[in-house]
Amino acid sequence: MSHTALVSAFMERTAAKNPGEKEFLQAVLEFAEVIVPFVEEHPVYKKAKILERMVEPERVVIFRVPWLDDKGEIQVNRGFRIQMNSAIGPYKGGLRFHPSVNLSILKFLAFEQVFKNSLTTLPLGGGKGGSDFDPKGKSDNEVMKFCQSFMTELCRHIGQFTDVPAGDIGVGAREIGFLFGQYKKVTNEFTGVLTGKSLNYGGSLIRPEATGYGCVYFSDEALRHHGHEIAGKTAVVSGSGNVAQFTTEKLIELGAKVVTVSDSSGFVYDKAGIDAEKLDFIKDLKNVRRGRIKEYADKFKAEFHESKTPWGIKCDIAYPCATQNELDEDDSKTLVKNGVIGVFEGANMPTTPEAMHFLRQKGVLFSPGKASNAGGVGTSGLEMAQNSQRLSWTRDEVDYRLKIIMKSIHENCVNHGAGSKIVDYVKGANIAGFRKVADAMLQQGVV
Ligand SMILES: NC(=O)C1=CN([C@@H]2O[C@H](COP(=O)(O)OP(=O)(O)OC[C@H]3O[C@@H](n4cnc5c(N)ncnc54)[C@H](OP(=O)(O)O)[C@@H]3O)[C@@H](O)[C@H]2O)C=CC1
Ligand SMILES: O=C(O)CCC(=O)C(=O)O
Protein backbone atom coordinates (compact mmCIF):
# COMPACT_ATOMS: atom_id res chain seq x y z
CA MET A 1 0.00 0.00 0.00
CA SER A 2 1.19 3.56 -0.65
CA HIS A 3 1.87 5.83 2.32
CA THR A 4 -1.20 7.89 1.42
CA ALA A 5 -3.37 4.77 1.50
CA LEU A 6 -1.86 3.69 4.82
CA VAL A 7 -2.54 7.10 6.35
CA SER A 8 -6.13 7.02 5.06
CA ALA A 9 -6.71 3.54 6.47
CA PHE A 10 -5.26 4.56 9.84
CA MET A 11 -7.41 7.70 9.91
CA GLU A 12 -10.54 5.75 9.00
CA ARG A 13 -10.01 3.43 11.97
CA THR A 14 -9.28 6.36 14.27
CA ALA A 15 -12.33 8.31 13.05
CA ALA A 16 -14.59 5.30 13.58
CA LYS A 17 -13.49 5.12 17.21
CA ASN A 18 -13.74 8.88 17.80
CA PRO A 19 -16.80 10.01 15.84
CA GLY A 20 -17.36 13.73 15.48
CA GLU A 21 -14.09 14.67 17.17
CA LYS A 22 -12.92 16.92 14.37
CA GLU A 23 -10.13 18.81 16.16
CA PHE A 24 -8.72 15.59 17.61
CA LEU A 25 -8.78 13.92 14.19
CA GLN A 26 -7.14 16.99 12.64
CA ALA A 27 -4.25 16.80 15.12
CA VAL A 28 -3.88 13.06 14.60
CA LEU A 29 -3.86 13.48 10.81
CA GLU A 30 -1.06 16.06 10.92
CA PHE A 31 0.93 13.61 13.01
CA ALA A 32 0.01 10.50 10.99
CA GLU A 33 1.07 12.09 7.69
CA VAL A 34 4.62 12.15 9.05
CA ILE A 35 4.64 9.19 11.43
CA VAL A 36 2.86 6.48 9.40
CA PRO A 37 5.67 6.48 6.77
CA PHE A 38 8.25 6.61 9.57
CA VAL A 39 6.68 3.60 11.30
CA GLU A 40 6.71 1.72 7.97
CA GLU A 41 10.48 2.19 7.89
CA HIS A 42 10.79 1.09 11.55
CA PRO A 43 8.73 -2.11 11.89
CA VAL A 44 9.49 -2.41 15.60
CA TYR A 45 6.97 0.39 16.23
CA LYS A 46 4.46 -1.15 13.86
CA LYS A 47 4.60 -4.57 15.50
CA ALA A 48 4.07 -3.02 18.95
CA LYS A 49 1.06 -1.01 17.63
CA ILE A 50 2.61 2.12 19.11
CA LEU A 51 0.60 4.51 16.96
CA GLU A 52 -2.71 2.78 17.74
CA ARG A 53 -1.87 2.98 21.45
CA MET A 54 -0.83 6.65 21.25
CA VAL A 55 -4.19 7.81 19.90
CA GLU A 56 -6.02 6.14 22.78
CA PRO A 57 -5.90 8.26 25.99
CA GLU A 58 -4.70 6.35 29.04
CA ARG A 59 -7.62 7.84 30.97
CA VAL A 60 -10.39 10.42 30.47
CA VAL A 61 -12.17 11.93 33.44
CA ILE A 62 -15.40 13.89 32.87
CA PHE A 63 -17.20 15.42 35.82
CA ARG A 64 -19.99 17.72 36.94
CA VAL A 65 -18.98 21.17 38.25
CA PRO A 66 -21.87 22.80 40.15
CA TRP A 67 -21.40 26.26 41.69
CA LEU A 68 -23.41 29.19 43.04
CA ASP A 69 -23.31 32.49 41.14
CA ASP A 70 -23.51 35.94 42.76
CA LYS A 71 -27.32 35.89 42.57
CA GLY A 72 -27.40 32.65 44.55
CA GLU A 73 -28.44 30.64 41.48
CA ILE A 74 -26.98 27.20 40.78
CA GLN A 75 -24.82 26.93 37.66
CA VAL A 76 -23.60 23.63 36.21
CA ASN A 77 -20.52 23.21 34.02
CA ARG A 78 -18.67 20.19 32.73
CA GLY A 79 -15.08 19.45 33.78
CA PHE A 80 -12.53 17.29 31.94
CA ARG A 81 -9.05 15.90 32.38
CA ILE A 82 -7.48 13.90 29.56
CA GLN A 83 -4.53 11.83 30.80
CA MET A 84 -3.09 11.00 27.40
CA ASN A 85 0.32 9.42 27.85
CA SER A 86 2.60 8.91 30.87
CA ALA A 87 5.41 6.96 29.19
CA ILE A 88 8.09 9.55 29.91
CA GLY A 89 6.74 11.30 33.01
CA PRO A 90 3.67 12.40 34.97
CA TYR A 91 0.85 13.82 32.84
CA LYS A 92 1.51 17.51 32.25
CA GLY A 93 -0.54 20.12 30.41
CA GLY A 94 -2.79 23.08 30.91
CA LEU A 95 -6.42 23.68 31.83
CA ARG A 96 -8.62 25.66 29.44
CA PHE A 97 -11.74 27.50 30.60
CA HIS A 98 -13.71 28.60 27.53
CA PRO A 99 -17.31 28.04 26.38
CA SER A 100 -16.05 26.16 23.29
CA VAL A 101 -14.33 23.47 25.37
CA ASN A 102 -15.39 19.91 24.56
CA LEU A 103 -13.88 16.42 24.46
CA SER A 104 -12.52 16.78 20.93
CA ILE A 105 -10.69 20.05 21.64
CA LEU A 106 -9.14 18.76 24.84
CA LYS A 107 -8.11 15.47 23.22
CA PHE A 108 -6.37 17.32 20.39
CA LEU A 109 -4.57 19.48 22.93
CA ALA A 110 -3.61 16.47 25.07
CA PHE A 111 -2.37 14.57 22.02
CA GLU A 112 -0.15 17.45 20.86
CA GLN A 113 1.05 17.95 24.42
CA VAL A 114 2.56 14.43 24.53
CA PHE A 115 5.00 15.15 21.70
CA LYS A 116 5.61 18.75 22.71
CA ASN A 117 6.59 17.65 26.19
CA SER A 118 8.84 14.98 24.75
CA LEU A 119 10.61 17.67 22.69
CA THR A 120 11.39 19.75 25.78
CA THR A 121 13.94 17.06 26.85
CA LEU A 122 12.29 16.97 30.30
CA PRO A 123 10.55 13.95 31.90
CA LEU A 124 6.97 15.09 31.26
CA GLY A 125 4.02 13.01 30.06
CA GLY A 126 1.08 14.65 28.30
CA GLY A 127 -2.39 15.68 29.42
CA LYS A 128 -4.87 18.52 29.15
CA GLY A 129 -8.09 19.52 30.84
CA GLY A 130 -10.58 22.27 31.39
CA SER A 131 -14.20 23.22 31.31
CA ASP A 132 -16.86 24.93 29.22
CA PHE A 133 -16.98 27.59 31.97
CA ASP A 134 -16.56 31.14 30.59
CA PRO A 135 -14.61 33.40 32.97
CA LYS A 136 -15.51 36.46 30.82
CA GLY A 137 -17.97 38.73 32.59
CA LYS A 138 -17.81 36.75 35.85
CA SER A 139 -16.90 38.39 39.17
CA ASP A 140 -13.75 37.29 41.03
CA ASN A 141 -16.06 35.64 43.56
CA GLU A 142 -17.80 33.61 40.84
CA VAL A 143 -14.49 32.55 39.31
CA MET A 144 -13.31 31.45 42.77
CA LYS A 145 -16.51 29.47 43.43
CA PHE A 146 -16.18 27.73 40.09
CA CYS A 147 -12.47 26.94 40.59
CA GLN A 148 -13.15 25.52 44.05
CA SER A 149 -15.88 23.22 42.77
CA PHE A 150 -13.74 22.17 39.79
CA MET A 151 -10.77 21.32 42.01
CA THR A 152 -12.89 19.49 44.60
CA GLU A 153 -13.31 16.75 41.99
CA LEU A 154 -10.07 17.17 40.01
CA CYS A 155 -7.89 16.76 43.11
CA ARG A 156 -8.74 13.03 43.22
CA HIS A 157 -7.06 12.54 39.85
CA ILE A 158 -3.92 14.71 40.01
CA GLY A 159 -0.82 14.98 42.20
CA GLN A 160 2.80 16.10 42.02
CA PHE A 161 3.91 12.63 40.81
CA THR A 162 0.74 11.80 38.83
CA ASP A 163 -0.55 14.75 36.88
CA VAL A 164 0.47 18.41 37.12
CA PRO A 165 -1.93 20.86 35.39
CA ALA A 166 -1.19 24.51 34.52
CA GLY A 167 -2.93 27.38 32.70
CA ASP A 168 -4.16 27.77 29.12
CA ILE A 169 -6.88 29.94 27.56
CA GLY A 170 -8.95 31.50 30.35
CA VAL A 171 -6.72 30.15 33.11
CA GLY A 172 -4.09 32.60 34.35
CA ALA A 173 -2.52 33.53 37.67
CA ARG A 174 -5.90 34.30 39.32
CA GLU A 175 -7.43 30.92 38.46
CA ILE A 176 -4.27 28.97 39.34
CA GLY A 177 -4.32 30.67 42.77
CA PHE A 178 -7.93 29.63 43.48
CA LEU A 179 -7.29 26.09 42.20
CA PHE A 180 -4.13 25.71 44.29
CA GLY A 181 -5.86 27.02 47.43
CA GLN A 182 -8.63 24.45 47.09
CA TYR A 183 -6.23 21.58 46.33
CA LYS A 184 -4.28 22.42 49.49
CA LYS A 185 -7.42 22.65 51.60
CA VAL A 186 -8.94 19.38 50.42
CA THR A 187 -5.77 17.26 50.43
CA ASN A 188 -3.99 18.97 53.33
CA GLU A 189 -0.81 18.93 51.23
CA PHE A 190 1.45 21.73 50.02
CA THR A 191 3.04 20.32 46.87
CA GLY A 192 3.93 21.50 43.38
CA VAL A 193 0.71 20.06 41.96
CA LEU A 194 0.13 22.99 39.62
CA THR A 195 2.52 25.18 37.67
CA GLY A 196 2.10 28.81 36.72
CA LYS A 197 1.81 29.60 40.42
CA SER A 198 2.51 33.05 41.84
CA LEU A 199 6.05 33.61 43.15
CA ASN A 200 4.58 33.92 46.66
CA TYR A 201 3.78 30.22 46.87
CA GLY A 202 6.23 28.32 44.69
CA GLY A 203 5.94 29.78 41.20
CA SER A 204 8.89 30.22 38.89
CA LEU A 205 10.29 33.44 37.52
CA ILE A 206 9.84 33.58 33.72
CA ARG A 207 6.94 31.06 33.64
CA PRO A 208 4.43 33.80 32.67
CA GLU A 209 6.76 34.97 29.90
CA ALA A 210 7.97 31.52 28.83
CA THR A 211 5.59 30.49 26.02
CA GLY A 212 5.92 33.81 24.18
CA TYR A 213 9.64 34.25 24.83
CA GLY A 214 10.26 30.62 23.88
CA CYS A 215 8.35 31.04 20.63
CA VAL A 216 10.49 34.03 19.68
CA TYR A 217 13.71 32.21 20.71
CA PHE A 218 12.66 29.33 18.46
CA SER A 219 11.87 31.63 15.54
CA ASP A 220 15.20 33.39 16.09
CA GLU A 221 16.98 30.03 15.73
CA ALA A 222 14.95 29.12 12.65
CA LEU A 223 15.47 32.49 10.96
CA ARG A 224 19.21 32.53 11.66
CA HIS A 225 19.55 28.93 10.45
CA HIS A 226 18.16 30.13 7.10
CA GLY A 227 20.20 33.33 6.86
CA HIS A 228 17.69 35.84 8.28
CA GLU A 229 17.36 37.75 11.54
CA ILE A 230 14.51 39.16 13.63
CA ALA A 231 15.89 42.69 13.89
CA GLY A 232 14.23 45.00 11.40
CA LYS A 233 11.42 42.61 10.52
CA THR A 234 7.72 43.55 10.59
CA ALA A 235 5.72 41.08 12.67
CA VAL A 236 2.03 40.33 12.84
CA VAL A 237 0.82 38.78 16.11
CA SER A 238 -2.69 37.52 16.85
CA GLY A 239 -4.24 37.30 20.31
CA SER A 240 -3.57 39.62 23.22
CA GLY A 241 -3.47 37.12 26.08
CA ASN A 242 -0.52 35.52 27.80
CA VAL A 243 1.26 34.10 24.76
CA ALA A 244 0.65 37.11 22.50
CA GLN A 245 1.81 39.61 25.15
CA PHE A 246 5.17 37.97 25.74
CA THR A 247 5.73 37.11 22.08
CA THR A 248 5.27 40.81 21.39
CA GLU A 249 7.55 41.80 24.28
CA LYS A 250 10.46 39.63 23.09
CA LEU A 251 9.99 40.60 19.44
CA ILE A 252 10.22 44.29 20.41
CA GLU A 253 13.32 43.57 22.50
CA LEU A 254 14.99 41.81 19.56
CA GLY A 255 14.30 44.73 17.23
CA ALA A 256 11.19 43.68 15.30
CA LYS A 257 8.27 46.01 14.65
CA VAL A 258 5.02 44.40 15.87
CA VAL A 259 2.03 46.00 14.15
CA THR A 260 -0.99 43.95 15.27
CA VAL A 261 -2.65 42.27 18.25
CA SER A 262 -6.18 40.91 18.42
CA ASP A 263 -8.92 39.33 20.49
CA SER A 264 -12.12 37.53 19.59
CA SER A 265 -13.79 40.83 18.67
CA GLY A 266 -11.22 41.86 16.01
CA PHE A 267 -7.68 43.14 15.55
CA VAL A 268 -5.82 46.42 15.91
CA TYR A 269 -3.33 47.59 13.29
CA ASP A 270 -0.80 50.04 14.68
CA LYS A 271 1.30 51.20 11.73
CA ALA A 272 3.75 52.96 14.05
CA GLY A 273 4.42 49.70 15.89
CA ILE A 274 3.66 48.57 19.44
CA ASP A 275 6.31 49.79 21.88
CA ALA A 276 6.97 48.86 25.53
CA GLU A 277 4.61 51.53 26.84
CA LYS A 278 1.76 50.45 24.57
CA LEU A 279 2.38 46.84 25.56
CA ASP A 280 2.04 47.82 29.23
CA PHE A 281 -1.38 49.23 28.33
CA ILE A 282 -2.33 45.88 26.72
CA LYS A 283 -1.18 43.95 29.80
CA ASP A 284 -3.22 46.16 32.11
CA LEU A 285 -6.24 46.05 29.76
CA LYS A 286 -6.21 42.26 29.43
CA ASN A 287 -4.79 41.02 32.75
CA VAL A 288 -6.25 43.55 35.20
CA ARG A 289 -9.21 45.40 33.68
CA ARG A 290 -10.20 42.43 31.45
CA GLY A 291 -11.38 44.76 28.66
CA ARG A 292 -11.63 44.53 24.86
CA ILE A 293 -8.73 45.22 22.48
CA LYS A 294 -10.63 48.00 20.71
CA GLU A 295 -9.69 50.22 23.66
CA TYR A 296 -6.09 50.08 22.39
CA ALA A 297 -7.16 51.48 19.02
CA ASP A 298 -9.15 54.25 20.72
CA LYS A 299 -6.25 55.20 22.99
CA PHE A 300 -3.39 55.08 20.48
CA LYS A 301 -5.30 56.13 17.34
CA ALA A 302 -4.67 52.79 15.66
CA GLU A 303 -7.00 51.05 13.20
CA PHE A 304 -9.54 48.58 14.61
CA HIS A 305 -10.86 45.88 12.27
CA GLU A 306 -13.95 44.38 13.84
CA SER A 307 -14.49 40.60 13.61
CA LYS A 308 -11.35 40.22 11.44
CA THR A 309 -8.04 38.39 11.85
CA PRO A 310 -4.75 40.20 11.16
CA TRP A 311 -3.32 38.00 8.38
CA GLY A 312 -4.07 40.53 5.62
CA ILE A 313 -1.51 42.97 7.04
CA LYS A 314 1.81 42.88 5.16
CA CYS A 315 4.56 41.36 7.27
CA ASP A 316 7.82 39.38 7.20
CA ILE A 317 7.06 37.11 10.13
CA ALA A 318 3.74 35.98 11.61
CA TYR A 319 2.91 34.61 15.06
CA PRO A 320 -0.58 33.14 15.51
CA CYS A 321 -0.99 33.24 19.29
CA ALA A 322 -4.76 33.11 19.92
CA THR A 323 -6.51 29.80 19.24
CA GLN A 324 -6.92 26.75 16.98
CA ASN A 325 -7.72 27.14 13.26
CA GLU A 326 -7.45 30.93 13.28
CA LEU A 327 -5.29 31.05 10.11
CA ASP A 328 -6.93 29.44 7.07
CA GLU A 329 -5.91 28.75 3.48
CA ASP A 330 -6.98 32.16 2.16
CA ASP A 331 -4.98 33.79 4.94
CA SER A 332 -1.92 31.72 4.02
CA LYS A 333 -2.26 32.83 0.38
CA THR A 334 -2.44 36.47 1.45
CA LEU A 335 0.58 36.07 3.70
CA VAL A 336 2.60 34.50 0.86
CA LYS A 337 1.46 37.17 -1.60
CA ASN A 338 2.68 39.78 0.90
CA GLY A 339 6.12 38.12 1.12
CA VAL A 340 6.03 36.39 4.50
CA ILE A 341 9.26 34.51 5.38
CA GLY A 342 8.15 32.60 8.45
CA VAL A 343 5.02 31.58 10.38
CA PHE A 344 5.71 30.47 13.95
CA GLU A 345 2.83 29.00 15.95
CA GLY A 346 2.52 30.40 19.48
CA ALA A 347 -0.97 28.92 19.89
CA ASN A 348 -1.84 25.22 19.57
CA MET A 349 -2.82 24.22 16.00
CA PRO A 350 -3.76 27.79 14.93
CA THR A 351 -3.09 26.97 11.27
CA THR A 352 -5.58 24.85 9.32
CA PRO A 353 -4.14 21.81 7.48
CA GLU A 354 -4.74 23.44 4.06
CA ALA A 355 -2.95 26.62 5.15
CA MET A 356 -0.07 24.63 6.61
CA HIS A 357 0.37 22.63 3.38
CA PHE A 358 0.29 25.81 1.29
CA LEU A 359 2.87 27.62 3.41
CA ARG A 360 5.26 24.66 3.40
CA GLN A 361 4.81 24.12 -0.32
CA LYS A 362 5.69 27.78 -0.94
CA GLY A 363 8.91 27.49 1.06
CA VAL A 364 7.77 29.53 4.05
CA LEU A 365 9.47 28.57 7.32
CA PHE A 366 6.67 27.04 9.35
CA SER A 367 6.98 25.80 12.93
CA PRO A 368 4.17 23.81 14.52
CA GLY A 369 3.10 24.78 18.03
CA LYS A 370 4.39 21.55 19.49
CA ALA A 371 7.89 22.84 18.70
CA SER A 372 7.67 26.62 18.92
CA ASN A 373 5.33 26.99 21.91
CA ALA A 374 7.01 24.30 24.03
CA GLY A 375 8.83 26.90 26.13
CA GLY A 376 5.77 27.28 28.37
CA VAL A 377 5.55 23.68 29.42
CA GLY A 378 9.35 23.46 29.44
CA THR A 379 9.47 26.21 32.03
CA SER A 380 6.65 24.48 33.92
CA GLY A 381 9.06 21.54 34.09
CA LEU A 382 11.65 23.92 35.54
CA GLU A 383 9.06 25.10 38.09
CA MET A 384 8.49 21.47 39.11
CA ALA A 385 12.25 20.99 39.50
CA GLN A 386 12.48 24.07 41.74
CA ASN A 387 9.50 22.90 43.83
CA SER A 388 11.17 19.51 44.34
CA GLN A 389 14.39 21.19 45.42
CA ARG A 390 12.49 23.70 47.61
CA LEU A 391 14.48 26.41 45.83
CA SER A 392 13.83 29.36 43.53
CA TRP A 393 16.19 30.00 40.66
CA THR A 394 16.99 33.51 39.45
CA ARG A 395 15.35 35.08 36.42
CA ASP A 396 18.59 34.76 34.46
CA GLU A 397 18.99 31.09 35.38
CA VAL A 398 15.45 30.19 34.21
CA ASP A 399 15.72 32.30 31.06
CA TYR A 400 19.07 30.68 30.24
CA ARG A 401 17.56 27.19 30.62
CA LEU A 402 14.53 28.19 28.52
CA LYS A 403 16.88 29.33 25.73
CA ILE A 404 18.74 26.01 25.91
CA ILE A 405 15.45 24.09 25.70
CA MET A 406 14.31 26.03 22.62
CA LYS A 407 17.71 25.69 20.97
CA SER A 408 17.70 21.95 21.52
CA ILE A 409 14.16 21.62 20.13
CA HIS A 410 15.34 23.50 17.06
CA GLU A 411 18.38 21.24 16.67
CA ASN A 412 16.19 18.16 17.05
CA CYS A 413 13.86 19.47 14.32
CA VAL A 414 16.85 20.09 12.05
CA ASN A 415 18.17 16.57 12.70
CA HIS A 416 14.88 14.91 11.77
CA GLY A 417 13.49 17.40 9.28
CA ALA A 418 16.42 18.65 7.22
CA GLY A 419 15.30 19.27 3.64
CA SER A 420 17.20 20.26 0.50
CA LYS A 421 16.37 23.97 0.82
CA ILE A 422 14.71 24.57 4.17
CA VAL A 423 14.05 22.59 7.32
CA ASP A 424 10.69 20.80 7.43
CA TYR A 425 9.79 21.64 11.04
CA VAL A 426 6.53 19.68 10.92
CA LYS A 427 8.36 16.50 9.99
CA GLY A 428 11.26 17.18 12.35
CA ALA A 429 9.11 17.99 15.39
CA ASN A 430 6.77 15.04 14.93
CA ILE A 431 9.52 12.46 14.43
CA ALA A 432 11.69 13.78 17.26
CA GLY A 433 8.71 14.02 19.63
CA PHE A 434 7.42 10.57 18.65
CA ARG A 435 10.70 8.66 19.00
CA LYS A 436 11.32 9.32 22.67
CA VAL A 437 7.76 8.47 23.71
CA ALA A 438 7.62 5.42 21.42
CA ASP A 439 10.93 4.03 22.70
CA ALA A 440 9.83 4.50 26.32
CA MET A 441 6.58 2.68 25.53
CA LEU A 442 8.49 -0.19 23.94
CA GLN A 443 10.72 -0.46 27.01
CA GLN A 444 7.73 -0.50 29.38
CA GLY A 445 5.87 -3.35 27.69
CA VAL A 446 2.18 -3.59 26.82
CA VAL A 447 0.65 -1.28 29.43
N1 LIG B 1 -0.42 29.88 28.30
C2 LIG B 1 0.52 29.03 27.93
O3 LIG B 1 1.54 28.84 28.61
C4 LIG B 1 0.39 28.29 26.65
C5 LIG B 1 -0.63 28.54 25.76
N6 LIG B 1 -0.63 27.92 24.54
C7 LIG B 1 -1.67 28.19 23.56
O8 LIG B 1 -1.61 29.56 23.18
C9 LIG B 1 -2.92 30.04 22.80
C10 LIG B 1 -3.28 31.26 23.63
O11 LIG B 1 -3.26 30.91 25.01
P12 LIG B 1 -3.10 32.02 26.16
O13 LIG B 1 -2.43 33.22 25.62
O14 LIG B 1 -2.54 31.31 27.32
O15 LIG B 1 -4.62 32.32 26.49
P16 LIG B 1 -5.28 33.68 27.02
O17 LIG B 1 -6.58 33.28 27.56
O18 LIG B 1 -4.33 34.43 27.86
O19 LIG B 1 -5.48 34.52 25.66
C20 LIG B 1 -6.18 33.98 24.59
C21 LIG B 1 -6.26 35.02 23.49
O22 LIG B 1 -6.80 34.41 22.32
C23 LIG B 1 -8.05 35.04 21.99
N24 LIG B 1 -9.03 34.01 21.60
C25 LIG B 1 -9.45 32.95 22.33
N26 LIG B 1 -10.37 32.26 21.66
C27 LIG B 1 -10.54 32.92 20.50
C28 LIG B 1 -11.36 32.68 19.37
N29 LIG B 1 -12.19 31.63 19.32
N30 LIG B 1 -11.25 33.53 18.33
C31 LIG B 1 -10.40 34.60 18.38
N32 LIG B 1 -9.60 34.86 19.43
C33 LIG B 1 -9.67 34.03 20.45
C34 LIG B 1 -8.51 35.72 23.25
O35 LIG B 1 -9.41 36.75 22.96
P36 LIG B 1 -10.68 36.97 23.91
O37 LIG B 1 -10.12 37.56 25.18
O38 LIG B 1 -11.57 37.87 23.17
O39 LIG B 1 -11.30 35.61 24.14
C40 LIG B 1 -7.16 36.18 23.83
O41 LIG B 1 -6.71 37.33 23.17
C42 LIG B 1 -3.85 28.81 22.99
O43 LIG B 1 -3.90 28.10 21.77
C44 LIG B 1 -3.10 27.98 24.02
O45 LIG B 1 -3.48 26.61 23.95
C46 LIG B 1 0.37 27.06 24.16
C47 LIG B 1 1.38 26.76 25.02
C48 LIG B 1 1.41 27.27 26.37
O1 LIG C 1 2.72 24.53 31.38
C2 LIG C 1 2.04 23.54 31.19
O3 LIG C 1 2.03 22.56 31.91
C4 LIG C 1 1.10 23.43 30.03
C5 LIG C 1 1.21 24.42 28.95
C6 LIG C 1 0.21 24.09 27.90
O7 LIG C 1 -0.94 23.86 28.21
C8 LIG C 1 0.62 23.92 26.53
O9 LIG C 1 1.80 23.75 26.27
O10 LIG C 1 -0.26 23.92 25.64
Is 107 a catalytic site residue?
A: no
d(CA 425, CA 111) in angstroms, rounded, equals 18
The b-or-e profile of 31-64 (16+ CB within 10 A means b, else e) is bbbbbbbbbeeeeebeebebbeebbebbebbebe
d(CA 102, CA 108) in angstroms, rounded, equals 10
**Ligand 2 atom closest to residue 109's alpha carbon, by position in its atom list:** 10
**Which of 128, 197, 257, 427 is labelled catalytic?**
128
Above 90 in pLDDT, residue 140? yes
* Mean pLDDT of the chain, nearest integer: 98
Is pLDDT larger for residue 185 or for residue 1? 185
- Going by C-alpha positions, the residue among 252, 233, 428, 246 that lies closest to residue 342 is 233
pLDDT of residue 57: 98
pLDDT of residue 191: 97
321-330 mean pLDDT:
98
Nearest CA to ligand 1 atom 2: 168
- Return the H-helix or E-strand segment holding 75: strand 74-85
197-203 mean pLDDT:
98
Task: Tell me phi and psi for residue 124, to 5 degrees.
Answer: -130, 125
pLDDT of residue 420: 80
Specify the DSSP class assigned to residue 266: E
- Return the H-helix or E-strand segment holding 350: none
421-434 mean pLDDT:
97
Above 90 in pLDDT, residue 402? yes
pLDDT of residue 419: 82
Determine the distance separating the centroid of ligand 1 and the alpha carbon of 373, expressed in angstroms. 12
Q: H helices within 155-258, ranges in order?
A: 173-187, 207-225, 242-253
pLDDT of residue 289: 96
What ipTM did this prediction achieve? 0.99
Above 90 in pLDDT, residue 298? yes
pLDDT of residue 37: 97
Q: What is the pLDDT of residues 75-89, one digit of tens each?
A: 999 999 999 999 999
Q: What is the pLDDT of residues 4-34, one digit of tens each?
A: 999 999 999 999 999 999 999 999 999 999 9
Determine the distance separating the centroid of ligand 2 and the alpha carbon of 93, expressed in angstroms. 4
d(CA 215, CA 195) in angstroms, rounded, equals 19
Q: What is the pLDDT of residues 94-107, one digit of tens each?
A: 999 999 999 999 99
Residue 234 neighbours by CB under 8 Å, 6+ apart: 256, 257, 259, 314, 315, 316, 317
Q: Which CATH superfamily is domain 59-189 in?
A: Leucine Dehydrogenase, chain A, domain 1 (3.40.50.10860)
> Which CATH code is given to the segment(s) 208-367?
3.40.50.720
The reply to whether 59-189 and 208-367 are identical in fold is yes
| Ligand 1 first shell, C-beta below 6 A | 167-170, 211, 239-244, 263-265, 321-323, 326, 346-348, 373, 376
Spell out the domain ranges in the chain. Answer: 59-189, 208-367
Residue 149 neighbours by CB under 8 Å, 6+ apart: 65, 66, 67
Half-sphere CA count of 441, side-chain side, radius 13 A: 26
Q: What is the pLDDT of residues 224-256, one digit of tens each?
A: 999 999 999 999 999 999 999 999 999 999 999
